[in-house]
Amino acid sequence: MADVNRGNRPLSPHLSIYRPQWTSIMSIAHRITGCALSLGAILVVWWLLAAASGPDYFATADGFLTSWIGNLIMFGSLFALCFHACNGVRHLIWDLGLMLDPDQAEVAGKMTLVIAALLTVLIWIL
């Protein structure tokens, strides 16, 4: 039986109802970086297949991946990898029952983002 006092409220909560929180933003970013890693992996496989196919095809693939747009894509893929790994460690910490308090979870999310950015820059420089 329907509740007559429900008014115009939606049947179930969704993104337009909840205020974004660090944990939800990090969860969405984790999924996005997972998809981005798949696309980056395809580019790396293309580069390796081009290397096996011959010097002309490799020159085309290598020319693209070492261009400014290729470097930008690879830098983004590196950040996605670092973020995805750091966020996975954050989830492992949660699995241990640590940092589950909302304030601690927010700090962990911010730390994850900072560590991923630092790792990305460090790896890129090296």
Mark the binding-site residues for heme, compressed into ranges: 84
Annotated binding-site residues read 84
CA-nearest of 37, 33, 30, 42 to 88 is 30
Quick one: tokens of 50? 């081009």
